[in-house]
Amino acid sequence: MFRLQSLGTEYRALIIGNSGALGKAFCEHLRNDPGCAGVTELGRSTTPAVDLEDPTSIAAAAQSLAHQAPYQLIVLTSGLLHRQGVQPEKSLAAIEPEALQAVFQVNALGPALVLRDFLPLLDRKGAMAVLSARVGSIGDNRLGGWYAYRASKAALNMLVKTAAIELARQSPHARLLSLHPGTVQSALSLPFRGAAAARPASQAAMELLSVIDRSLPADSGGFFSYNGERIEW
Ligand SMILES: NC(=O)c1ccc[n+]([C@@H]2O[C@H](COP(=O)([O-])OP(=O)(O)OC[C@H]3O[C@@H](n4cnc5c(N)ncnc54)[C@H](OP(=O)(O)O)[C@@H]3O)[C@@H](O)[C@H]2O)c1
């Protein structure tokens, strides 16, 4: 039976981005963990709502949940690669200012506000994780393309690393991680998977929960793959 070990008995979890493939899978695993005393889900359709393109919604949601703090686990599972009017760019010439702004807003600027408003709700010995992507690794960029998505995830990784340094001063036993889920079956990856073997979201979420569970405070600020390996910046 799946059971997180590192967050104590009766830990409480908060998932931001509950409607996506990975977000739903995280919620399901946590609800089935006998050690989890409760899962709070947030997304654009919950009450309160969190819309990463509406900064006031982020602050208001955190404020309305503050009385339930601390949470021992917080995971931000939302992200944007494509939608109507937003497509990953194959070349510099394809960069569109509105799409660039939307992708940065959802993948980096909104998450910066989530870190600002939700890290204070994290237990001093708790863990917070943010879903990033390997294509946000600058050192690992061999194929090019996908300017907005790559750059926004690289920015996200820097925000996480920087926030982890600040977090460690107040809560040296807490963990804040950037995680790469691998290629996962979801609406986000569907048009771009090609021949790549995409894993079910349930499997990926389980593997990521295991990475979180095995992480140490010394790992805080790091960028890790679903198999636990550290990814170069
Ligand atoms: N799938 C992969 O292969 C893969 C690979 C590497 C990294 N990732 C990362 O993993 C994370 C989850 O991806 P997924 O595959 O589960 O994608 P998904 O099924 O498409 O889910 C995307 C989630 O992001 C939310 N979202 C989008 N725009 C938002 C906004 N403005 N405000 C609040 N929430 C918003 C969606 O909410 P709505 O339902 O309200 O639209 C949904 O919950 C993302 O960060 C992604 O970059 C995925």
Q: Please check the confidence at residue 195 and state whether its pLDDT lies above 70.
A: no
The rounded Å distance from CA 65 to ligand 1 centre is 22
Is position 192 within any domain? yes
Domain span at residue 176?
A: 11-225
DSSP per-residue letters across 89-150: -SSGGG--HHHHHHHHIIIIIHHHHHHHHHGGGEEEEEEEEEE--GGG-STT--S---HHHH
Structural domains of the chain, count? 1
Question: Each residue of 41-97: pLDDT tens digit?
Answer: 999 999 999 999 999 999 999 999 999 999 999 999 999 999 999 999 999 999 999
Amino acid present at 2: F
Is position 33 within any domain? yes
Q: Please check the confidence at residue 154 and state whether its pLDDT lies above 70.
A: yes
Q: Kindly state if the Cβ of 136 falls inside 6 Å of ligand 1.
A: no
Q: Please check the confidence at residue 196 and state whether its pLDDT lies above 80.
A: no
Which phi-psi region, left, alpha or beta, contains residue 228 (left: φ > 0; alpha: ψ -120 to 50)?
left
Q: By CB neighbour count within 10 A (0-12 exposed, 13-18 middle, 19+ buried), where does 196 fall?
A: exposed
To which H or E segment does residue 210 belong?
helix 201-214
To which H or E segment does residue 224 belong?
strand 223-225
pLDDT mean over 184-195: 88
Rounded to the nearest 10°, the torsion over CA 109, 115, 118, 123 is 170
Give residue 159's pLDDT band: very low, low, confident or very high (50, 70, 90). Answer: very high
The rounded Å distance from CA 15 to ligand 1 centre is 12
Query: What CATH number did the domain enclosing 74 receive?
Result: 3.40.50.720
Q: Kindly state if the Cβ of 72 falls inside 6 Å of ligand 1.
A: no
Q: Kindly state if the Cβ of 80 falls inside 6 Å of ligand 1.
A: yes
Is position 230 within any domain? no
Is position 182 within any domain? yes
**Nearest-CA residue for atom 43 of ligand 1:** 20
Hey, which of 78, 113, 137 would you mutate to test ligand 1's pocket, going by the most ligand atoms within 8 Å of its Cβ? Answer: 78
Which two three-digit tokens encode residue 86? 């937003």
DSSP per-residue letters across 143-196: S---HHHHHHHHHHHHHHHHHHHHHHHH-TT-EEEEEE--SBSSTTTGGG-TTS
Is position 147 within any domain? yes
Considering only CA atoms, which of 22, 17, 8 is closest in space to residue 40?
17
Q: What is the pLDDT of residue 2?
A: 80
Taken in order 200, 51, 130, 85, the sign of the CA dihedral is: positive
8 A C-beta contact, residue 131 and residue 74 = no
Is position 175 within any domain? yes
Which 3 state secondary structure label does DSSP give 59? helix
Index of the ligand 1 atom closest to the CA of residue 193: 3
Q: 21-30, 188-197, 201-210 — which is least confidently predicted?
A: 188-197
Is position 169 within any domain? yes
The bridge status of strand 36-42 relative to strand 223-225 is unpaired
Question: Each residue of 10-22: pLDDT tens digit?
Answer: 999 999 999 999 9
Nearest-angstrom CA–CA distance, 145 and 217: 34
Q: Kindly state if the Cβ of 111 falls inside 6 Å of ligand 1.
A: no
Q: What is the pLDDT of residue 224?
A: 98
Is position 2 within any domain? no
Q: Kindly state if the Cβ of 87 falls inside 6 Å of ligand 1.
A: no
pLDDT mean over 155-169: 98
